Amino acid sequence: MTIEEKRAAFKKNMLDQDRMTLLCGAFDGITARVAQAAGCFDGCYMGGQATAASILGVPDIGVVTGSEQTKHAGDLASCVELPFVIDADTGYGNDLNVRRTMNDLELAGICGAHFEDQVTPKRCGGMHGVQIETAEVFARKIETAVKYRRDPNFLVIARSDAAEVVGVDEAIRRLNLAADAGADMGYIFSAKGVFDDLDDIKRACDTVRIPILYCLMEFCPEVCFTLEQLRQAGLRAVCWPNGLLMRWCRAATDLVEQFKQTGSCLTFFDQLMPIEQCNQLLGIQDWNPPGMF
């Protein structure tokens, strides 16, 4: 399947209102392969927070460059068949930067990206101190992304973080401006005080003129909605961005502490995936090293 064929099939699935499309957050080649092996995901999602953590070991505070994000996304997309949607932040600057970012993402084999209305440099939407651009600047960036994409099946997704700054109504208004600018989908997430009620999510689904990609992020227990609850609210596309990252951080910390305390691998040996299984997960049979099989 060519990348053009993959994008066309993926876009059709993402915009299909008769089924729910589910994307798994992947921040490295291992998590991308885990998502593919699960067999229940329609694609992968590479978020800004997970990328900043995995390639630089820093929080999502706007220090990852567009080139770094694109290179990492291309590497992950190349190791699995699942299509990738990525977080393209603010487009990494003004309209010219958005144009450059679109070009680079298409060349990297990505199937879609969301562009947001935060100022540059941005920060994780769940952090305090988020600042947003004007609605007009945001709409112009979306218009630029649509104008300069070469493949019409590349998903241009508009993300508004206005809900936590000025309220849900403004976020909905901005997503409709993005729809007028040609966006294929809108993007929202929930946090404490931000789309933290299923009624608000349903209102966004009912009033935004393009389908919504919802970010199922574990900011607090109150917003850990089930897929069925989200389906009932009207959502048909969900990405689960950071569950694997957050669990990995906990597991790695716990394992290192256990080794520090005991000095023995035997205390956790039964909890490890055997190296042979690791290699199977990583596709060793596809590589078929000489003399191995």
Range(s) of the domain holding residue 34: 3-250
Mean pLDDT of 164-170: 94
Confidence bin at 244 (pLDDT 50/70/90): very high
- pLDDT tens for 6-38 read 999 999 999 998 999 999 999 999 999 999 999
Specify the pLDDT at position 58: 96
Q: Is residue 20 included in any domain, yes or no?
A: yes
- pLDDT tens for 99-137 read 999 999 999 999 999 999 999 999 988 888 899 999 999
Q: Is residue 281 included in any domain, yes or no?
A: no
Q: Is the pLDDT score of 293 beyond 80?
A: no
Contacts of 145 (CB under 8 A, 6+ apart): 91, 98, 99, 101, 102, 113, 115, 156
For 165, phi and psi rounded to 5 degrees? -100, -50
Cα–Cα distance between 276 and 274 in angstroms, integer? 5
For 119, phi and psi rounded to 5 degrees? -75, 165
Number of domains comprising the chain: 1
Q: Is residue 285 included in any domain, yes or no?
A: no
Q: Is residue 256 included in any domain, yes or no?
A: no
Q: Is residue 70 included in any domain, yes or no?
A: yes
Q: Is residue 34 included in any domain, yes or no?
A: yes
Specify the pLDDT at position 73: 97
Q: Is residue 259 included in any domain, yes or no?
A: no
Q: What value does the mean pLDDT of the chain take?
A: 96
Q: Tell me, yes or no, if the pTM score tops 0.85.
A: yes
Confidence bin at 288 (pLDDT 50/70/90): confident
Q: Is residue 227 included in any domain, yes or no?
A: yes
Specify the pLDDT at position 125: 85
Find the CATH number of the domain harbouring 44.
3.20.20.60
